[in-house]
Amino acid sequence: MKSILVPYDFSEEAENAFKFAQELATKAGCKLKLVHIIEIPATQHFNTMGEVNLEEDYIDKIYMVELINKRKAQVKKLEANHQNKPYQFSTRLAFGNPYAGISKEISEIKADVVIMGSKGSSGLEELLIGSNTEKVVRHTKCPVITVKQQVKVEDIKTIVFASDFSEDSKRVIKHLKDLQNLLGAELRLVKINTPNSFENTKTSNKRIREFIKSNNIENVRIDIYNSSSEEEGIIEFADDCDADMIAMATHGRTGFMHLLSGSIAEDVVNSAKRPVWTMRFKEE
């Protein structure tokens, strides 16, 4: 791990993610970059008659100038507070679409992991709006760790990796192993059985053992867990074994297919209280 990127919006969740990233950067001895994107709204507003509301437009411009100056000062303060840290720290203040800005930064610095806060959403709100966090989880090729509550890196002792342990999962497990080894954590490999996707224990155990052997995984345990759905099963199992982090692969579907099938990983990111590590297993 050489480079960590933290998208930062000054929210409580973003601050929790930033603190976690600082601890991980210290442990890994890698670079840490913070990016804050200011989304610029339309510069003109129209009333119901289609006329430009100059007063409202002027007020919005004043607000944006004040916000930009405030954010510049806050980012400068962050830089000053990180001059003597055991990792190389940098920041970027950019303007435009938050997701586009985050994606550009990931590509430019060749981030090995993105760590970002998540408020979580569900149901109709998720389908209609989504969030920048969900978009990053869905599209980004490097691992993404989403954080809601305060958590210390030193407290990550058990990582649950929920999977079907197919060939696709082999692409992501090597990245998860790097994190596991860095943290010295135990890996709990779990297959969730549901009424619509059931596999007998003997078959599941055989597949998982072969997965462990072919990927040289150590400090690992095997679990089979029954639940009404994959999402509920993953969260319930993590609760039952008091896991410190959940890890999953995501298929990265978009558009109509995403609405039809959804993504279990994104659902877990929205619902779980624990940090969630995700990574796409399909290339563009």
| Model confidence pLDDT, tens digit, residues 92-123 | 998 888 888 899 999 999 999 999 988 755 44
Q: How far apart are CA 284 and CA 282, in angstroms?
A: 7
Helices (H), 7-157: 12-28, 54-81, 98-109, 123-128, 132-139
Return phi, psi of residue 24, to 5°.
Answer: -70, -40
202 vs 58: which has the higher pLDDT:
202
Give this prediction's pTM.
0.85
- Asked whether residue 61 is assigned to any structural domain, the reply reads no
Return phi, psi of residue 193, to 5°.
Answer: -95, 130
- Asked whether residue 252 is assigned to any structural domain, the reply reads yes
Please indicate, yes or no, whether residues 194 and 110 belong to a single structural domain of this protein. no
Please indicate, yes or no, whether residues 125 and 173 belong to a single structural domain of this protein. no
Element (H, E) at 189: strand 186-193
Please indicate, yes or no, whether residues 177 and 242 belong to a single structural domain of this protein. yes
- Asked whether residue 275 is assigned to any structural domain, the reply reads yes
Structural domain boundaries, residue 224: 156-280
- Domains of the chain: total: 2
Please indicate, yes or no, whether residues 97 and 168 belong to a single structural domain of this protein. no
Please indicate, yes or no, whether residues 127 and 160 belong to a single structural domain of this protein. no
Please indicate, yes or no, whether residues 228 and 106 belong to a single structural domain of this protein. no
Please indicate, yes or no, whether residues 164 and 268 belong to a single structural domain of this protein. yes
Please indicate, yes or no, whether residues 113 and 194 belong to a single structural domain of this protein. no
Please indicate, yes or no, whether residues 30 and 121 belong to a single structural domain of this protein. yes
Highest mean pLDDT among 32-41, 70-79, 178-187: 178-187
User: 110: domain CATH number?
Assistant: 3.40.50.620
